[in-house]
Amino acid sequence: MTVQINTDNNVEGNARLKAYISDELGTALARFEDKITRLEVHLGDENSAKSGLDDKRCLIEARPINMQPLAVTNYADTTEKAFHGALDKIKKVLETTFEKKKTY
């Protein structure tokens, strides 16, 4: 399972952040590792330099083998909260999808 992390110009995508996200994804989605080819994480700040409520966005796209990609988006006041919210959502979507296919 390949993990690709993308950030917009308003989110600092340093090596520590990327390592943290990769580790969290690997741990949380380990049971789906043989069913997913790639995970893409897109982090962004909707309001750029201005502050605002829930202006940090995290989109996680999972690409299951022989299936259409699945994507979820979560907004929060920090990048970390947005990521964890999206992680919870993608975990539920994957559980439901693979449970329906009975390949889980």
Which residue, among 91, 90, 95, 57, has the nearest Cα to 76 in the 3D structure? 57
Per DSSP, which regions of 31-93 are E strands?
36-45, 56-64, 70-76
Residue 81, CA distances (Å) to 12, 54, 57 in order: 15, 10, 9
Sheet of 70-76, strands arranged across: 2-7, 36-45, 56-64, 70-76
* Predicted TM-score (pTM) of this structure: 0.89
Residue-wise pLDDT tens digits, 47-88: 776 666 778 999 999 999 999 999 999 999 888 999 999 999
Residue-range domain boundaries for the chain: 2-101
User: Average pLDDT, whole number, for the chain?
Assistant: 90
- Top-confidence residue, 27 or 55: 27
Task: Domain 2-101: give its CATH superfamily.
Answer: Ribosome hibernation promotion factor-like (3.30.160.100)
